[in-house]
Amino acid sequence: MPVEAFDDLSALGQEFVDDPYPVYAELRSRGPVHRVRTAASGEFWLVVDHEVGRAALSDPRLSNDIRQSADWADDGGNSIGLNMVQTDPPQHTRLRQLVAKGFTARRIEALRPRVRKIADELVDGLLERGQADLVEAFALPLPLAVICELLGVPAADRKTFHDWYLTSTDFTRPEAAGAAAGAMTGYLAELIAAKREEPGEDLLSALARAMDEDEDRLSPEEMLGMAFLLLVAGYETAANLLSSGVLALLRHPGQLAALRADWSLLDNAVEEMLRYEGPVETTAFRYAKENLTLGGTPVARGDSVAVVLAAASRDPRRFAEPDRFDIRRAAGGHLAFGHGIHRCLGAPLARLEGAVAFRTLLERCPDLALDTDPAALTWRPSLMLRGLHQLPVTVG
């Protein structure tokens, strides 16, 4: 097939959404960098190779600040530059350091028993029902409860939060999506104000202290951007790891049996799930600050570049037989958490959630099985996130 057949990714439809890997493999066989377009984002460069992708993510000539984009039009909006994914040093360094202070290994590790309890409660519900959509009944509620606990969002508000989140990411209903995002922001602003009045042990309270005490104070807008980012970055991503990971195991019974027989394989199995079916398909856009060459391809100043992490993690020059799911392979070096200064800040938490969730689910449900033909499963239509709509299972 000619490369042009792939240049409009939106036109590839649900078949590409459900299984993008053959398209990425075909593109990769022709070169590391390609000009593509989508209905939502216009034209941009797509990097599909591990080495070039990794280099691009640590290249200071590629900016995360949309004001470097040739398409940037200043509409007077003031929301830019308030969250760390959209900023460059030194602003990025400052924002990241402030949150990293509250995101300590100790605070993460302290969550382990809570994650186990949340997983246990969800599995109780699954066992009672015998049959469920694992996305709705396990994969989504677990990370939501964890992130809400970490941030200090009261348990009673989580259901509302979940509904807002789903509506705010529904691109088929832009008005409702905007209203839900607005409601979420309003709620967070009130919550932050409450934490400043009466701080607790949670991360929002720690950040709220940084608003008042640190030399490098967080402005109220930055604080809001941070809370919003943490919630969004830590929710659907981790949910996708759980549902895609369970699917990979159920579709590879030999691997599942090996894991059940030897739990010391668990941490590496999580790495392999991240490599094989990573929750983030494509990074946020980078914008060329100057004319440059990427993997031999000239990229003009102001052009947008996205690295396909899902393609980099299946690059045969980095991983032998990349389409084979193998929980014993050396999966480290995958790019599922990105690379460079924007590398995922929540990776230790995501790994902990994965390990605890998979072990709890598999130990307590020895007869867990798919309740549908795998060919009938569909994936959410997003170039950025890769996750299943539903995962029907029987539980026993």
Concatenating the DSSP letter of every residue in 343-381 gives: S-TTHHHHHHHHHHHHHHHHHH-TT-EE-S-GGG--B--
Count of other CB atoms within 10 angstroms of residue 130: 10
Count of other CB atoms within 10 angstroms of residue 10: 14
- Closest approach, Cβ 338 to ligand HEM, in A, equals 3
| Kind plus residue range of the DSSP H or E element containing 46 | strand 42-47
For ligand HEM, the closer of residues 295 and 346 by Cβ is 346
Closest CA to 386 of 238, 259, 255: 238
For ligand HEM, the closer of residues 287 and 337 by Cβ is 337
For ligand HEM, the closer of residues 259 and 310 by Cβ is 310
Judged by the rule CB under 6 A, the positions of this chain that interact with ligand HEM are 84-85, 96, 147, 229-230, 233-234, 237-238, 241, 278-280, 283-284, 309, 336-338, 342, 344-346, 349-350
| Kind plus residue range of the DSSP H or E element containing 43 | strand 42-47
How far, rounded to the nearest angstrom, does the alpha carbon of residue 322 sit from its chain's CA centroid? 21
Burial label for 114, CB within 10 Å (0-12, 13-18, 19+), is middle
For ligand HEM, the closer of residues 284 and 370 by Cβ is 284
For ligand HEM, the closer of residues 36 and 147 by Cβ is 147
- Closest approach, Cβ 396 to ligand HEM, in A, equals 27
For ligand HEM, the closer of residues 84 and 256 by Cβ is 84
- The total number of residues shown for the chain amounts to 396
Concatenating the DSSP letter of every residue in 50-76 gives: HHHHHHHHT-TTEES-GGGSTT----S
- Closest approach, Cβ 359 to ligand HEM, in A, equals 16
CA 9/CA 281 separation, integer angstroms: 14
CA 235/CA 218 separation, integer angstroms: 23
- Closest approach, Cβ 60 to ligand HEM, in A, equals 14
* Beta strands, E only, 187-317: 286-288, 292-294, 297-299, 304-307
For ligand HEM, the closer of residues 202 and 367 by Cβ is 202
- Closest approach, Cβ 83 to ligand HEM, in A, equals 8
- Closest approach, Cβ 220 to ligand HEM, in A, equals 19
- Closest approach, Cβ 99 to ligand HEM, in A, equals 7
The residue with its CB nearest to ligand HEM is 346
